[in-house]
Structure 1
Amino acid sequence: MDGKLAVIGLGSIGSMALWQASRLSDSVVGFEAHTPAHGRSAVGGDTRLFRMIYRGSPAQYPILERSRDLWAELEAETGQDILTRCGGLSMGTTDGPYLRSILETARINGAAHQILSREEMAERYPQHNLRADDSAVFDPNAGVLRTDRAVTAGIAAAQANGATVLGNTPVTSIRETNDGVVVSSGDTSWTFENVIVASGGWSRRLMPDYLKPHTETRRVFLSWFVARDAAQFTPEKFPTFNRMYEDRSMYGAPAVDGVTVKATLDGRGTVTTDPDAFPRELSAAEIADTLGTVTEFLPGLVPSIVRSDAFPDLYTEDRNPLLGWFGGSSRIYCATGFSGGGFKNATGFGHIAAYEALGKQSLDGLEFVRPERFRTS
């Protein structure tokens, strides 16, 4: 054996699984096809939203709570500022399905929140141009995560605990034997007791056939704007936001660099057959749609995209993650398919994956993420 556990892919989930596994074992190896936090992975784009109120997924609340605590632990362990707690806004039509779902989830979970009328929003957060029948739900525990900093901190913490990291080592195959799992990169192979597949948009290459029809790699794009008055878009004055109105939807983050504000269309991912080859530039239609939305929603931003990029991520057909063993007797555990929404829970899901893959704990109440849900009889 070359180790008790291999983690394939050291992005958002893989880096945190490696960190958590390194707390449990001194025989853990992480494989990364490029370098940690490289610019082509779903980690790219500087920031991701963290929020405790996540519509339609009350089962995720305990994981969100654990994730919040673990982000704080990672900050304390590494001395890095990763989660900026600036609050978060969910905006939409007052009696519309989006806010109803947000409020229902908040009430089921007992999550702290505050309802803000259009008039209260105009006073507290005038950056948002709300319609006459709009209102908002404020999540005081929300914030913004620094993605590159988080991943590199998680990997550094794992290495400090004794984990081995093999960068620029793309895994070309994994094969189960009677004794373990053979991991190959080109002509070189290693054998481990168990393996976690956490390679995001590249995970389909290592999946069993029964899962492939239920997953797809999608291209997700991001865009940034310059504020007319940057002082109005700092984390202290401009919380993260999600806004949905009929066919328009946008989410974003404050100017953590003091200059640019992330404001991106929501739910616009398109299927890509190759995570290594897809357009990084926005199309004319994507640019026009983005500019039209930001002009209406955020008039304090100059309506010109100053930066944009696109990244691959693995989506499942029900938009819930894949977290669990590939099969009943399998030694291969997957932590992937987070469908564009995994970063907020990366520490929590990484914790679950590490503990289960190392046989330290098996958790109940996670049927909604188990791969077995897609296996047909």
Structure 2
Amino acid sequence: MTDGKLAVIGLGSIGSMALWQASRLSGSVTGFEAASPAHGRSAAGGDTRLFRMLYRGIPDYYPILERSRSLWAELEAETGQNILTRCGGISIGAANGSYLSALLETTRMNGAEHAILSREEMAERYPQHNLRRDDIAVYDPHAGALRTDRAVTAAVAAAQANGATIHTKTPIDDITETADGVVITSGERCWTFENVIVSSGGWSQRLMPDYLKAATQTKRVFLSWFVAKDGPGFSPEKFPVFIRIHEDRSMYGAPAVDGVTVKATLDGRGGPIRDPDAVPRELTPGETSETIETVTEFFPGLFPSIVRSDAFPELFTTDGHPLLGRLKESSRIYCATGFSGGGFKNATGFGEIAAHEALGKRSFEGLDFVRPERFNLRRPAS
């Protein structure tokens, strides 16, 4: 006898969505969360994440993005929550620079809807940005700001409404495959499930086999916010989400969803940490000075002082792609982690894939680039 068909360990960005999707497929699903959904140290923290259809890299993400966009709307309809603020998005860089060249190459391969804005058009439409002489932008009409805490709590509530069981304040210490299923242990308590999804983000390493521990690293990701001198000018109606990369400067952010503070954060500055439970929350002097210098150049309409900052743990893989799939073909343990700082926009799509595959309802093709076994196959022969 088992305690259910599926356990989801970690109810954050991806786990909450996997639980929601699994609850649509089975009445025997249980979620385990070490703290509580959307707790203050979760990688989903910080109010917002960018949703965008335009990106640099392999085109294989695009179908997941399309499906995720539909599923965000389904979650909103099912829960009555406003989760995705649809305000559009802009990517800014040098006209002939490597960033926009790579983004446009991927965009054209996917056929994603977009518009190229000249420097003059940008200055007219979005005067909040202080542009360099050779800057242009690519506009994404389907981009927006995801309300992270609201999304996670809505997905967990929807799963509970569908009959899922939730255990909060229940950190999982160990998972072991047996002939009967997967035994999971928390302190002196244990349960056995037919299958288990590991989706505990920066805390996932402790539950991984050695070959995945070697291919992953927990990093500290920090965020920062600034007060707008003119709040309405940075509202979602007038200020799309943005990513700006130009040689020595890089930043991304979101509009003032609260009417006052604008998220403006340095891009790609995550550093390694040993303990996800002990992430330094305060910015270092170097992080603070670079952030303020960048905001001072990019946004004259923001007061050049950080009014709020925070930091969170996130699991990164060595190749930057997630871990999504079973540890091996016959395994009952399914990974949905290692999203390397870019998973939230696709959380609903990844959650759907994880739920269907872990329950054996459906398999998905074209996902070799995210399968955990890719790292096992790279190990040198003994």
TM-score, structure 2 normalization: 0.98
- Which deviations, in whole Å up to 9, do the C-alpha atoms of 1:9-60 show, x marking residues without a partner? 0001000000000000000000000011000010100000000011113110
Trace 1:29-108 onto structure 2 (pairs within 5 A). 29-108=30-109
CA distance in 2, matches of 1:96, 1:118: 14
CA distance in 2, matches of 1:57, 1:206: 29
Deviation at 1:208, TM superposition (A): 0.5
The alignment partner of 2:286 has SS state of: helix
Residue 233 of structure 2 corresponds to which residue in structure 1?
232
Residue 373 of structure 2 corresponds to which residue in structure 1?
372
CA distance in 1, matches of 2:372, 2:278: 27
2:209 alignment partner AA? P
CA distance in 1, matches of 2:198, 2:307: 35
CA distance in 1, matches of 2:55, 2:191: 40
CA distance in 2, matches of 1:256, 1:221: 19
Give percent identity, aligned residues only. Answer: 75
| Residue segments in structure 2 that go unaligned for 5+ positions in a row | none
CA distance in 2, matches of 1:138, 1:299: 22
Deviation at 1:227, TM superposition (A): 0.5
Residue 302 of structure 2 corresponds to which residue in structure 1?
301
Deviation at 1:248, TM superposition (A): 1.1
Trace 1:135-284 onto structure 2 (pairs within 5 A). 135-284=136-285
1:129 alignment partner AA? N
Residue 320 of structure 1 corresponds to which residue in structure 2?
321
Deviation at 1:327, TM superposition (A): 1.6
| Residue segments in structure 1 that go unaligned for 5+ positions in a row | none
Deviation at 1:328, TM superposition (A): 2.4
TM-score, structure 1 normalization: 0.99
CA distance in 2, matches of 1:102, 1:338: 20
CA distance in 2, matches of 1:263, 1:57: 26
The alignment partner of 2:245 has SS state of: strand
User: What number of residue pairs does the alignment pair up?
Assistant: 377
CA distance in 2, matches of 1:334, 1:56: 22
Residue 341 of structure 1 corresponds to which residue in structure 2?
342
CA distance in 2, matches of 1:106, 1:51: 11
Q: Which runs of 4+ in 1 moved over 3 A?
A: none
Deviation at 1:359, TM superposition (A): 0.2
1:301 alignment partner AA? L
The alignment partner of 1:339 has SS state of: coil
Residue 289 of structure 1 corresponds to which residue in structure 2?
290
Deviation at 1:213, TM superposition (A): 1.0
